Amino acid sequence: MINLVSISKSYRQGNENYKALHEISLTIQAGEFVAIMGPSGSGKSTLINIIGFLDNNFDGQYNFNDTVVNNLNRRDHARLRNQSVGFVFQNFKLIRNQSVGENVGLPLLYAGLKRRDIIARVNDVLEQVGLPGSYDKLPKNLSGGQQQRVAIARAIVTKPNFLVADEPTGALDSATSREIMALFKELNQHGTTVIMVTHDENVARQTNRLIKILDGRLQSDMEVEHADS
């Protein structure tokens, strides 16, 4: 599904060019559950911004299914992003003065769905993330873990090809973090492709594939071993 061929990315820093990614080649198939780890400044955000169709200014080739992403104009790139990716962030990024249901339904509103269809789909997805009957609640009345479930519901509501999650457990205590990882695992087992950035070894170990990057280069890429349970 995702095929990066020798991707490099430089940023202008003052009068210098700083190379944040060095010839990254990487393939991620539909259905995978991937963690990307690396120290601060190693290029994780730069990489997932490219993968998630937020940044189309890089060297190398990005093939997404049959599309050569780096050849797309700005409008088609944005369309691909809206149709193909769901984003989950460390700090949830919910709209405070809108209900849970309005937050989750927003991508469907942008996609032009009818109100009745939006409400039905939102209620389905809220049930899927373990928050049945929460449509009319306000985010501030939910725990951190529940707010992240709302954010995950918003990310999956359009049935994207893959999720990009940037430190999704970074603001959660370890018990809540395990619950959120269990939810990602369940979504993955039902077919959702998940690409997650994390600093946390315990989080990374719950995925199926661990990619480590260091100084903008792939350091290792390995299958995660799970004890049978």
Closest contact distance (angstroms) between CB of 172 and ligand ADP is: 16
Residue 26, C-beta contacts closer than 8 angstroms, at least 6 positions apart: 2, 3, 4, 7, 211, 218, 221
Cβ nearer to ligand ADP, comparing 15 with 97: 15
42 is an interface residue for ligand ADP by CB under 6 A: yes
Residue 139 φ then ψ, to 5°: -50, -40
User: How many residues make contact with ligand ADP (CB under 6 A)?
Assistant: 12
- C-alpha 104/C-alpha 135 separation (Å) is 9
Instruction: State the minimum distance, in angstroms, from the CB of residue 149 to ligand ADP.
Output: 21
Q: Which stretch binds ligand ADP (CB under 6 A): 10-18, 63-71, 128-136, 219-227?
A: 10-18
Smallest gap, in angstroms, from Cβ of residue 215 to ligand ADP? 9
Per-position DSSP letters for 96-155, written without gaps between them: TTS-HHHHHHHHHHHTT--HHHHHHHHHHHHHHTT-TT-TT--GGGS-HHHHHHHHHHHH
Quote the CA–CA distance of 103 and 105 in Å, as a whole number.
6
- The stretch near ligand ADP (CB under 6 A) out of 40-48, 101-109, 124-132, 186-194 is 40-48
Smallest distance from ligand ADP to CB 21, Å: 8
- For ligand ADP, the closer CB: 38 or 160: 38
Tell me how far, at minimum, the Cβ of 49 lies from ligand ADP, in Å. Answer: 7
Beta bridge partners of 165: 88, 196
Among 2, 7, 26, 44, binds ligand ADP (CB under 6 A): 44
Nearer to ligand ADP, 123 or 169 (CB): 169
Pick from 3, 8, 45, 161 the residue near ligand ADP by CB under 6 A. Answer: 45
128 binds ligand ADP (CB under 6 A): no
* Half-sphere CA count of 140, side-chain side, radius 13 A: 4
- Per CB under 6 A, 13 contacts ligand ADP: yes
Q: Give yes or no for residue 59 binding ligand ADP (CB under 6 A).
A: no
Torsion on CA atoms 175, 195, 204, 171, rounded to nearest 10? -40
Q: Where are the alpha helices (DSSP H) in the chain?
A: 44-51, 74-84, 100-110, 115-128, 144-156, 174-189, 201-204
Q: Where do contacts with ligand ADP occur on this chain (CB under 6 A)?
A: 11, 13, 18, 20, 38, 40-46
